[in-house]
Amino acid sequence: MVTTLERQRGAPLPTVRRLPTYLRLMRQLRAAGREYVSSIQIAEELKLEAIQVRKDLAVTGIEGKTKVGFPVPALIEAIESFLGWDNTTDAFLVGAGSLGTALMGYEGFAHHGLNIVAAFDVDRAKIGRRVHGKEVLPLHKLPDLAARMHIHMGIIATPAGAAQAVAALMAAAGIRAIWNFAPVRLEVPAPIVVQNEDLSSGLAVLSVQLAEALAPGRA
């Protein structure tokens, strides 16, 4: 059996998307005191194919053990390390509306290496308040603070109309990655990466499936 060992560079995007699911399961197994788990067992639990599980996990550089499977603690470390979730990334959030508030209150981000350190808004009614223990600051303070605190990640939870201007501000402030919850395609200078989170695509899939389920026979 020749082993890979090498952590993969350009892992397939669908694989990257599935890694958090593996990580979550592994943490559950670790909490239950489990030392090893086979790809077959993982696949059964997550309704995937065992071969896909092995292919996916291979990108992290983890090495399975013949006959017993993958060591749970090492696998957790491997996934965390691959995703960069072993070190905490501090982030600024812009838009302290209901979505922004929900994101600030989501404690699960701690398990994903993400720490929202402060929120920004232009609404004077919101500025100065604390939301889930985090301060809401005036947006114009973002550039200076981002630079001083070496913040690399920004989260946009503003209305669509404000998002592009916020992205530009973030880019100018040295932010390198933007997690965008506003339904707009952002234009940002070259080195900056953007991940668009779009609820409507998930709803579209569900809507089509529901329509097909409610109107059978026409398939």
Nearer to DNA, 68 or 110 (CB): 68
Could you tell me the smallest distance in angstroms from the CB atom of residue 91 to DNA?
Answer: 27
Query: Which of 145, 194 has the CB closer to its own copies?
Result: 194
Determine, following the binding rule CB under 7 A, whether residue 98 of this chain makes contact with DNA: no
Which residue from 17, 55, 140, 141 is in contact with its own copies, where contact means CB under 8 A? Answer: 17
Under the binding rule (CB under 8 A), the answer on residue 47 touching its own copies is yes
Please pick, from the candidates 21, 27, 34, 50, the single residue that binds DNA as defined by CB under 7 A. Answer: 50
From the list 67, 124, 150, 218, which residue makes contact with its own copies (rule: CB under 8 A)? 218
From CA 127, how far away is CA 121, in angstroms rounded? 6
Give which of its own copies, DNA, none residue 38 binds (C-beta under 5 to 8 Å, depending on kind): DNA
Taking the C-alpha atoms of residue 55 and residue 196, their distance in angstroms, rounded to an integer, is: 26
Q: What is the rounded CA–CA span in Å between residue 63 and residue 39?
A: 12
Q: Least CB distance from residue 169 to its own copies, whole Å?
A: 18
Query: Which residues, numbered 63-82, are part of the site for DNA (CB under 7 A)?
Result: 63-70
Q: Residues of 172-200 as b/e, b for ≥16 C-beta within 10 angstroms?
A: ebebeebbbbbebebebeeebebeebeee
> Of 1, 32, 214, 215, which lies in the binding site for DNA, with binding defined by CB under 7 A?
1
The contacts of residue 9 (CB under 8 Å, 6+ apart) are none
Q: Which neighbouring-strand residues pair with 91? A: 116, 153
CA distance 149 to 37: 41
Binding part of the chain for its own copies, among 34-42, 68-76, 141-149, 191-199 by CB under 8 A, reads 191-199
Which position has the token pair 């880019």? 171
Q: Does 46 participate in binding DNA (rule CB under 7 A)? A: no
Could you say whether residue 9 binds its own copies (CB under 8 A)? yes
Contact with its own copies (CB under 8 A): which of 42, 99, 118, 167?
99
C-alpha to C-alpha distance for 91 and 18, rounded to whole angstroms: 23
Quote the crossing angle between the two packed helices 39-46 and 50-58, to the nearest 10°: 110
Burial class (CB in 10 A: 0-12, 13-18, 19+), 56: buried
Is 58 a residue that touches DNA (CB under 7 A)?
yes
> Rule CB under 7 A: which residues touch DNA?
1-4, 12-15, 38-40, 48-52, 54-55, 57-58, 62-70
